[in-house]
Structure 1
Amino acid sequence: MTFSAFPASQHILQTDSWGEFKARYGWEPVRLHSGQESALVLFKRLPLGLSVAYVPKAGIGEEWTRLLPKIETECRQRNAVFLQIEPDLDEPYDTAGLDSVFPNYIKDEATIQPRGTILIDISSEETTILATMKQKTRYNIRLAERKGIKVETSHDLDDFYEQMLITSGRDGFALHSLPYYQNAFEIFEPKGQCVLLRASYEGESLAYLMLFLYGQRAWYFYGASNDKHRNLMPTYLLQWEAMRYAKVHGATLYDMWGIPDADEDELEEQFMLRSDGLWGVYRFKRGFGGEVKRSAPAYVKVFKPLLYKAYRWLRNKRTGGENASL
């Protein structure tokens, strides 16, 4: 039985490029195989010879009943406290069937990657894609075009980061260091798996979008904008041009990556009232159409219960029970 929602296209977080990238930040990537399937497992070393293991966005296929024991054996050899697996699967799905793949695992609602997203089908003609957007979003795209906003590819990571700093200060979200984005671009861009797009007005940079691509899928991971000429709606045209770029380069699905973890009714009731966390970006992202999706929870195999209990206590203390990161 195959559970992957996207069997024809692996998630970019399961690629060797992602493993190479995370290796620069203390993770050791290990790829394990069974038949035609494989899993990228990331190990983080801890003091006292311990480690933790993480499998992001795993495509769960027919070989997983044979692949999973190999992953667990590798975890034991590396003295892992626990193994966390996050399936590349969105609701609704066969819950009982997926649970049967992971016997003696704990289901954890607090995943590392954001559970909520919007998926946009970009396989149709451009006119059809535009027709699924909110009327105001289409208007803003056309306004930006009429007013002379230009979108082009860029390699200016310094300027991109300057605008990330502005965006972080304005919208209150956490930011990585400049080398983090430079390393991602350095690894993915030469392989055609990443592009940096720049929106400008009369030669002046207004906004950036870093898009990731793999197979038939594209992901909007990072975006930044300054406070100049916001009335010209550069971010709307930038997002649309990113979709067009993804479509030309073979993608049929565009992932907006990261909205509040709430059902669609709550999202629609609250988005005009809230701007905290991911609520502010949801207001922008929803305008581009698509389907609101929520991913499966994490499955956790505990090898050292007392140490895992201590980890959970520290995580909840640090995050107040909200989504945490390793």
Structure 2
Amino acid sequence: MPEVTLSAWNQFIAEHPDAHLLQMGEWGELKNDFGWKPVRLLLDRETGAQILFRRLPLGLTLGYMPKPVDSGRLMVDNESFWREVDSICKKNHAIFLKIETDTWEETFQPSNLQAFKLSPHNIQPPRTITIDIKDSEETILARMKPKCRYNIRLAEKKGITVRSWDDIPAFHEMMTVTGGRDNFGVHSKEYYQRAYELFHPKGTCELLVAEFEGKPLASLMVFSNAKRAWYVYGASNDQERNRMPTYLLQWEAIRWAKARGCDEYDLWGVPDENEETLEANFETRHDGLWGVYRFKRGFGGQLKRAAQAVDRVYNPLLYWAYVKYIGNRE
């Protein structure tokens, strides 16, 4: 059977150091506790994917394959792989399967796109900023915008300290404040707790907090796998903001990733606009992800866009209804 256990899947991921966070077994287990069913498909030592199924009414599901390993090869000609995928999706009564490849827009060239529909919706933010952290800390700092570099040093001078933390209830409370201020959705306290419990014991996640005189001001949860790291969740309250705690906090997260041997640090999400539009509007717009672009741009990374999601459709009528009436509200 191509479906494999969690332990077999983790062994596969261990042999693929470029695997994305969303393909890690722990991510599947996290989503399993919050409405998704993970299924791991493994054909051989080079070919596999973790698929998540979300329950819909009437016993139906939607399938989601986020950032599969070796995405470029899978999306070319791999008939045996897609036959197994189709079989698993039909077994789980999926209306369709959404695939977000682990490739950048300019390099995504599938030869069999006729088997898919270009999706009108992404689940993950398609555009992001990645920072090359292979070089020395001095070089990384030198690539930053002067104001960002200044704010990091200012935070240190103004008494901000950063340390590891494990107070998930306080982190969740801070996330709630940030979500209300910046108008974005926040997971439950149990979600963050479960993420921490799954990843932290393996050394692939750290919760960091920035404090002033022992008072928490900002916090973030950073994840890593082999050569890559991701800034996924971050929050700050409304206290002592003039001390720039978020800048030093982000710098210490970058240092944490670098110490673990990572080469790339992904800031995970900015507005889906080209660089010219972003630079022309970031000082006046604060809605959606615009509120974080001004902050993230300062760290000297490269703006990138992931390849657009594609959908593999199994029930065309229900797929049409989903896209029209449900997908637009996601």
| Change over 3 Å in CA distance of 1:266–1:250 after alignment to 2 | same
Which residue matches 1:3?
none
How far apart are residue 208 of structure 1 and its match?
Answer: 0.3
Counterparts of 2:123 and 2:206 in 1: how far apart (Å)? 24
Which residue matches 2:301?
290
| Change over 3 Å in CA distance of 1:248–1:101 after alignment to 2 | farther
Superposed, 1:238-253 pairs within 5 Å as: 238-253=249-264
1:55 to 65, 80, 93: 65
Superposed, 1:142-157 pairs within 5 Å as: 142-157=153-168
Which residue matches 1:4?
none
Which residue matches 2:188?
177
Whether 1:32 aligns to 2:10 is no
Which residue matches 1:206?
217
How far apart are residue 112 of structure 1 and its match?
Answer: 0.5
Counterparts of 2:173 and 2:225 in 1: how far apart (Å)? 27
Superposed, 1:107-126 pairs within 5 Å as: 107-126=118-137
How far apart are residue 94 of structure 1 and its match?
Answer: 4.4
Contact 2:205 2:222 (C-alpha < 8 Å) held by counterparts: yes
Which residue matches 1:321?
none
Contact 1:34 1:63 (C-alpha < 8 Å) held by counterparts: no
Residue aligned with 2:319, SS:
helix
Counterparts of 1:50 and 1:8 in 2: how far apart (Å)? 34
Counterparts of 2:84 and 2:115 in 1: how far apart (Å)? 16
Contact 1:117 1:293 (C-alpha < 8 Å) held by counterparts: yes
2:54 to 36, 39, 44: 44
Q: Which AA in structure 2 matches 1:68?
A: W
How far apart are residue 150 of structure 1 and its match?
Answer: 0.5
Residue aligned with 2:114, SS:
coil
Normalising to structure 2: TM-score of the pair?
0.91
| Change over 3 Å in CA distance of 1:121–1:109 after alignment to 2 | farther
The superposition leaves residues 208-227 of structure 1 with CA deviations (integer Å, 9 ceiling, x where unpaired) of: 01101111111101111111
Q: Which AA in structure 2 matches 1:281?
A: V
Q: Percent identity?
A: 51
How far apart are residue 173 of structure 1 and its match?
Answer: 1.3
| Change over 3 Å in CA distance of 1:89–1:109 after alignment to 2 | farther
Counterparts of 1:94 and 1:17 in 2: how far apart (Å)? 27
Whether 1:12 aligns to 2:21 is yes
Whether 1:224 aligns to 2:235 is yes
Counterparts of 1:42 and 1:317 in 2: how far apart (Å)? 20
Normalising to structure 1: TM-score of the pair?
0.92
Which residue matches 2:138?
127
Cα RMSD after superposing both structures:
1.4
Q: Which AA in structure 2 matches 1:105?
A: F
Counterparts of 2:50 and 2:277 in 1: how far apart (Å)? 35
Contact 2:130 2:266 (C-alpha < 8 Å) held by counterparts: yes
The superposition leaves residues 286-319 of structure 1 with CA deviations (integer Å, 9 ceiling, x where unpaired) of: 000110000001111111111111111113553x
1:234 to 220, 245, 248: 245
Gaps of 5+ in 2: 1-15
Which residue matches 2:5?
none
Counterparts of 2:37 and 2:22 in 1: how far apart (Å)? 14
| Change over 3 Å in CA distance of 1:33–1:101 after alignment to 2 | farther
Counterparts of 1:187 and 1:316 in 2: how far apart (Å)? 30
Q: Which AA in structure 2 matches 1:307?
A: L
How far apart are residue 43 of structure 1 and its match?
Answer: 1.3
Which residue matches 1:67?
81
Deviates more, 1:47-56 or 1:282-291: 47-56
Which residue matches 1:83?
97
Contact 1:37 1:61 (C-alpha < 8 Å) held by counterparts: no
| Change over 3 Å in CA distance of 1:109–1:314 after alignment to 2 | closer
The superposition leaves residues 33-79 of structure 1 with CA deviations (integer Å, 9 ceiling, x where unpaired) of: 12222100111232323221110112315456132221111111222
Counterparts of 1:288 and 1:317 in 2: how far apart (Å)? 32
- Count of matched residue pairs: 310
Which residue matches 2:8?
none
Q: Which AA in structure 1 matches 2:64?
A: Y
